[in-house]
Amino acid sequence: MEKPKNILAIAGPKGGVGKSTISANLAIALSKLGKKVTAVDLDLGTSNLHAIFGLREFKYTLDDFVLNRVRNLSDIVLDTEINNLSIICGGDVPGIANMAYQKKMKLIRHLLKLDCDFVILDLAPGASYNVADFLIIAQKTLLVTTAEVPSLLNVYSFLKSAVFRRLKFFFKHKKSSELLELLEKARDFDNYPHLNTMEGLLGKAREINPDIADSARKILSGLKPFVVINRVFTKSDAGAGEVIQKLMRQYLSIDSGVIMTIREDKAVKNATARMKPIMIDAPKSMFSRDIEQIAATLCE
């Protein structure tokens, strides 16, 4: 079954960095480029993507699919007033954020079937198993942060956790208990400092099973996350992404995509107060122009 042209995951190590605002407005920018887009609120349990679109009432949410009230995910897709753009609203049922593995796999299968050019996944903050599993299916990932040093370091920790989750999933699939044990040792830096880098870890893995290690390296080489620095005030803020690029390259052997920046803009606060996406409320604002540039880059 053919996948959508692009599954785009938008993630971040913590809340409050503008991830959902970026998700909603990027969906609009892509739809304006003629792309058919479905935005999916996967910030399970604390969803708010619908509010950014100004939606107050809707018949179905993700709860209805996860709890088997509807058969197909496509049944809960809600068309918006924006041409080419639809949304799947998140749920608020207690415990939905920790859905059973089988339900999550069913959701993933249905996400892959959605009939559109872009599926935008607005993920929950942090590197939970749910988030890591949804990242696995994404062709492109945007990691949203701000320029403060703690936020930048959190992005690195987030990505490291997601990478280890992906390797653990792969080694389990290959039924290699030795490589799973090696992966656990790599988390213990004090006793196994030689496994502190991905190069050291995969080098040791190759001694155990060259074929699996080489396949794992190939999987990681395909990870080229885009880092988005939001609320940029100065040129030094804009250059903060280089810190993440260096850490990713040195310790995870991952080359990031283009560092993207979004300038601080009071128009965002004004649009939020009016419950309108800023791409609609202030299409000529700095924020909107920066989002349009990101959308164009993703379509290249």
Q: Write out the DSSP string of 111-179.
A: HHH--SSEEEEEEPSS--HHHHHHHHT-SEEEEEE-SSHHHHHHHHHHHHHHHHHHHHHHHHHTT-HHH
pLDDT of residue 56: 83
Residue whose C-alpha is closest to residue 124's, from 23, 229, 221:
23
- Residue 279: CA atoms inside 13 Å, Cβ hemisphere, count? 23
pLDDT < 70 regions, the chain: 1-5, 93-97
Report which residue type is found at 7: I
CB 162 within 8 A of CB 131: yes
Residue whose C-alpha is closest to residue 52's, from 97, 82, 73:
82
Q: Is the pTM of this model over 0.85?
A: yes
pLDDT of residue 1: 42
Phi, psi of 284, rounded to the nearest 5 degrees: -100, 5
Give 225's DSSP letter.
P
Residues 37 and 30: their CA atoms lie apart, in Å, by: 7
Residues 6+ positions from 55 with CB-CB distance below 8 Å: 78, 80, 87, 89
What would the pLDDT profile of 17-38 be if each residue is shown by its tens digit? 999 999 999 999 999 999 999 9
10 Å Cβ neighbour count for 189? 11
Q: What's the start-to-end Cα distance of the chain, in Å?
A: 24
How do strand 118-123 and strand 6-11 relate by DSSP bridges?
Answer: parallel
pLDDT of residue 217: 94
Which CATH architecture is the domain 6-145+265-298 placed in?
3-Layer(aba) Sandwich (3.40)
Residue whose C-alpha is closest to residue 8's, from 137, 166, 115, 146:
137
What would the pLDDT profile of 100-138 be if each residue is shown by its tens digit? 889 999 999 999 999 999 999 999 998 888 888 899 899
pLDDT of residue 91: 80
Residues 181 and 30: their CA atoms lie apart, in Å, by: 43
* All structural domains of the chain with their residue ranges: 6-145+265-298, 162-218
Alpha helices in the chain, H assignment, sequence order? 19-32, 49-52, 62-66, 101-113, 129-136, 149-173, 177-186, 198-208, 210-221, 235-238, 241-252, 266-273, 278-281, 286-298
10 Å Cβ neighbour count for 74? 15
